[in-house]
Structure 1
Amino acid sequence: MRPLIRMVVPAYFHPGVAPDDWRRLASARTRPRLVVLNLADGPGSVRDAQFAAVVDPLVAAGVPVAGYLDTAYGERAKDALLRDAARYRRWYGVDRVFLDRVRADRAGLPHYAGAVTALRDDGAVEVTMNPGVYPDLGYVELADLVVTFEGPWRSYRRLVVPSWAHCLPAQRFCHLVYGAPRLARWRARRLAARRHVGFVTTTAVDGANPWRRLPAPWR
């Protein structure tokens, strides 16, 4: 099986700091599966003209862009998520959402079911959830795409995938791997393919925000 190359790109870098990364992302021949827009763990309190200038070409070209929403493991109220999603739509023309820091246990499902339903009713055309681990199956049923691994390469090598995940389309799953040396990138893609994962993104960057630069394959 050929390793898959389409990626979910967490774009957690400001255009004023990394303008070349945004230009490369816009001009790439391989379209990302999803670009995640994150200004300040959300849309921020005011529209950022620099972000608008780099997001507009992506949206115009049909690249799927999602607004980052921190759910604080179920602590953020539904109304706060709706407010931030509306800001992404109004300020940047982004109508997809990326829910981060999502719970993975069954007890959290009612909260997330209500939030996802409200977001879709309010205009979200696609919902991605990031528990960073394989969650209760109910979360996968709620979302269009689920990040079932986010962590360092050393942990990714030891990842165990539950059997139920192989019964669903691979395109429902994404893995985000950081701290991956250059020679590990193709190995990570081969592992993802064997693990029945449709999208895998690797970066050599590590630290508190490993997505502060565009992943190396794009650069």
Structure 2
Amino acid sequence: MLLPLYVHPLTDPEAWDNLPRGAACWTIVNVHNGPGAARDEAYTAATARLHASGVRMLGYVDLGYGSRPNGEVWCDIVGWSQYPVGGIFFDQVPSDAASLAYVTQVVRAVRGSVVLNPGTRCASGYAALADVVCTFEGPWESYVALYGDKSVQERDWANAAHLVYGVPTARLGEATALLLKRAGHGLVTDLTAPLPYEGLPTSLRTRAAAR
């Protein structure tokens, strides 16, 4: 599971307290469109507590679809060293072959795991640059429509992930089954745009309440 959690620990402490533990999930943390200009003590405490309890985390870095200078991106990568993350989640990644050199340089600066999120199918060279590449990000309606198209291959890359939001609660099981059929990693959530990652999906909150 890839689980973006873009809500502040003080805003929704319950979400932070009920994150999945272990190797089956990466939680993506985002202080302020990245690590922020200065250390956030609430994030310092929350991430330290989660790291100690076995939650695996990635730090969020925005590539602006290739528009951000390497120096700015490098500063964000270094900024995450003040938190116990195990790698970087690059968002708004370009998807064209011409941008492969730029993304390759950025990825080389990371010590740890790398996830790329172009949010769409991209040039084949991207698959080799990261542990996971998000080749779909969008609402449930678009996901169903995309994979109803017979021109789209049955199974995505071996290291592909899909992020599907706005799934009706009653169809979360169906959505999860479809994702697992199409990709090896990802997330389905009933939270909706424009802020589909500000909290936990209902399925995870329900599981936490049952413990």
TM-score, normalization: structure 1?
A: 0.85
Taking the aligned partners of 1:115 and 1:30, their CA distance within structure 2 comes to: 27
Q: Does residue 13 in structure 1 map to residue 4 in structure 2? A: no
User: Can you give the 5+ residue segments of structure 2 that lack an aligned partner in the other structure?
Assistant: 206-211
- How much is the aligned-residue C-alpha RMSD, in angstroms? 1.9
Aligned mate of 2:52, from 36, 60, 68 = 60
Q: 1:159 aligns with which of 146, 167, 187?
A: 146
**Retained in 1: the 8 A contact 2:65–2:92?**
yes
**Alpha-carbon distance between aligned partners in 2 of 1:34 and 1:49, rounded to the nearest angstrom:** 22
Asked if structure 2 preserves the Cα contact closer than 8 Å seen for 1:9 and 1:32, the reply is: no
Match of 2:37 among 6, 31, 45: 45
Q: Any idea what SS the aligned residue of 1:47 has?
A: coil
Equivalent residue number for residue 180 of structure 1: 167
What is the aligned counterpart of 1:129 among 94, 116, 132? 116
User: Could you tell me which residue of structure 1 aligns to residue 199 of structure 2?
Assistant: 213
Matched residue type, 1:103: P
- Residue pair 1:9, 1:215 contacting (<8 A) in 2 also: no
Match of 2:178 in 1: 191
TM-score normalised to the size of structure 2? 0.88
Give, in angstroms, the shift of residue 164 of structure 1. 9.6
How much has 1:39 moved relative to structure 2? 1.2
Alignment pair present for 1:34 and 2:46: no
- Who is 2:208 aligned against? none
Separation (CA, whole Å) in 2 of partners of 1:17 and 1:182: 23
What letter is aligned with 1:115?
V
Give me the whole-angstrom Cα distance separating, in 2, the residues matched to 1:35 and 1:153.
Answer: 21
Shift of 1:165: 5.7
More relative contact order, 1 or 2 (CA 8 Å, 6+ apart)? 1
Q: Give per-residue Cα distances to partners, 1:177-213, cap 9 Å, x unaligned.
A: 1110112211112112221x11231121212221011
| Alpha-carbon separation, structure 1, partners of 2:166 and 2:119 | 16
The verdict on how the C-alpha distance between 1:17 and 1:125 changes in structure 2, with shifts beyond 3 A counting, is same
Instruction: Give the corresponding residue for 2:190.
Output: 204
User: C-alpha offsets along residues 35-70 of structure 1, whole Å, 9 cap, x if unaligned?
Assistant: 101011101111111111111122223332110000
Partner of 1:4: none
Listed one character per residue, the Cα deviations across residues 140-168 of structure 1 (whole Å, up to 9, x for unaligned) are 111111111110000011224854965x5
**What amino acid sits opposite 1:190 in the alignment?**
A
8 Å contact from structure 1 (residues 9, 201) kept in 2: yes
Is contact 1:88–1:95 with CA below 8 Å preserved after alignment?
A: no
Change (3 A) 1:164 1:182: closer
What is the DSSP-based 3-state SS (H/G/I as helix, E as strand, rest coil) of the residue aligned with 2:204? coil
Give the secondary-structure state (helix, strand or coil) at the position aligned to 1:157. helix
Unaligned runs of 5+ in 1: 1-6
Q: Distance in 2 between matches of 1:132 and 1:29?
A: 25
Distance 2:136 2:198 in 1: 18
